[in-house]
Each structure stands twice: as C-alpha cells, then as structure tokens.
Amino acid sequence: MSTTDQHNSLYDRLGGTNGISSIVDNVFEAHMTNPVVKARFLPLKEDPAHFAEVRQNVIDFFVTGSGGPEVYKGKDMTAAHKGMNISEAEYMNAIDDILFGLEKNNIDEQSKNDVLAILYSLKDHMIRV
C-alpha cells in the first residue's frame, strides 16, 4: 500500500459513494442466490419500493461508517435486526457475500480487512436480537 493510500479514508478506498453503491449491488446480488440467506432477501424483489429503500439505507450506512459525507438516518443495527433471529451461519454467509462484493470491485486487502473489522464489531448487534 502506498503512503497516499494509507492516508485516504476507507470511504475513498472503497471508491466513494459510486464505488460503495456498486459494492452494495454486488452484495445484494450474492445474497439473492446464497442458499443460507436468500430467503431473507428474495422477498425484496416483490416490493421494488421497499428494496430501493433498503438498498439506499445500506449504501448510506456504508458511506457514513467509512468516513463519507452522507449521513445514515436509518435505525441502529440492533433495532434494524430486532426479531430477525439471525444465526451465526447467516451472519457469516452475509460476510462472505460482502467479501464477494469487495473482491468483485477490486478492493485492496487492507480495505477488506478494515471492512471486516467493522462487520465483526457489529456482530453482537445483529445475531439473534
């Protein structure tokens, strides 16, 4: 990693809002075919307005959490996942799908590790809440 890359925010290293939007689209694509989590995501295809809202919330969450200019206005992670009874396996499969999205967008290893650290810091807010 170059010295310049070390000083760029995670937001910049993920490609800004456009890059993050592409990553999120790839993640949703993976979620829709992942046998462990697709049952939670396929219903979004039946309600395009709700899908667009969820997609935008995920983008805004990612942008805000990575140091970007947008402000996430959705629910906190505990409230957003309350009652979903997410299992450890579902959580890990979702992370795999996120890694797929990062790889598909040629994100560098350090940035992938930074995203993983954030995801693992949120784990207790999402599993079986």
Domains of the chain: 3-126 (1.10.490.10)
**Cα-based torsion angle of the residue sequence 43, 49, 55, 57 in order, rounded to the nearest 10 degrees:** -120
Per-residue pLDDT tens digits for 54-76: 999 999 999 999 999 988 888 88
Per-residue pLDDT tens digits for 78-103: 888 888 889 999 999 999 999 999 99
pTM: 0.89
Q: Assign 127 to helix, strand or coil.
A: strand
**What letter does residue 108 receive in the DSSP assignment?**
-
CA atoms within a 13 Å half-sphere pointing along the CA-CB vector of 111: 30
Q: Assign 75 to helix, strand or coil.
A: coil
